[in-house]
Amino acid sequence: MSSQVLQLAGVNRTYGAGATAVAALRNVNLTIHAGEFVAVMGPSGSGKSSLLTLSGGLDKATSGEVFVEGTPLSGLSINELARLRRRAVGYVFQDFNLVPTLTAVENVALPRELDGIPARKARRQAMDALRLVDIEQLADRFMDQMSGGQQQRVAIARAIVGQRRLILADEPTGALDSNTGDSILEVLRGRAEAGAAVVLVTHEARHAGWADRVVFLRDGRIVDEAAAQHDPAVLLTGLAH
């Protein structure tokens, strides 16, 4: 039995209160093991991004518990949570969240350096990650000298640098053409094969076909789970539940 990297146990997340409260996640139970690649699909507003931000410790559950490598996130101080995120969790945001005043390699090396890794070693690891996403030749460019697709690859390199054990990716292929998108999915697949747990939020059934398992959300609930099929039509049938 492989080890659990991420577990959501009875997780609810409600935004706001009273008449305007929005229940973004309702009693979500989900376990993801090392080496597993899971796609999360569902209509707009079904709670996909909320599931990811809670899993990465970027937001707190209203009730229930999120465990990363067995550690309950609700028990951690702000500093402990920040350390766990830097060491164990790689996050690809929809809007990249890169630092414009840093170069590509500096952006990727930053979380390693913040974690106390010597600058040269952090840079070497950052170059390895940039190479994996096929963009090492642009390592010294600033963000405003890169296209959206190139920035997206930098964001992915930052998420996979340093052998992180949990990789959370929110529509990581959005700004990429389909060939580049496929090569990014191959990188994520490779991280899973190297032992990471990978969670991919996607609208595209074709992309979910790279996953071992697909979780379907609707109105904040998990409505279905399926082994990924490599036929997109089958995934679309799942979405129609």
For ligand ATP, the binding residues (CB under 6 A) are: 15-16, 22, 24, 42, 44-50
Q: Which residue has the tokens 């990978």?
A: 198
Give the number of residues written for the chain.
241
Which of residues 24 and 139 has its CB atom nearest to ligand ATP in the complex?
24
Report, in Å, the least distance between residue 236 CB and ligand ATP: 16
Q: Which is nearer to ligand ATP, 106 or 171 (CB)?
A: 171
Smallest distance from the beta carbon of 223 to ligand ATP, in angstroms?
13
Q: Least distance (Å) from ligand ATP to the CB of residue 135?
A: 26
**What is the rounded CA–CA span in Å between residue 75 and residue 72?**
6
Q: Taking a C-beta distance cutoff of 8 angstroms, is the pair 113, 122 a contact?
A: yes
Cβ-based nearer residue to ligand ATP, 43 or 148: 43
**Longest pairwise C-alpha distance within the chain:** 54
Q: HSE, CB side, 13 Å, CA atoms: give it for residue 224.
A: 16
CB of 220 to ligand ATP, least distance (A): 7
Output 16 or 72, the one with its CB closest to ligand ATP: 16
| Phi and psi torsions of 209, nearest 5° | -65, -15
Q: Give 103's strand partners.
A: 142
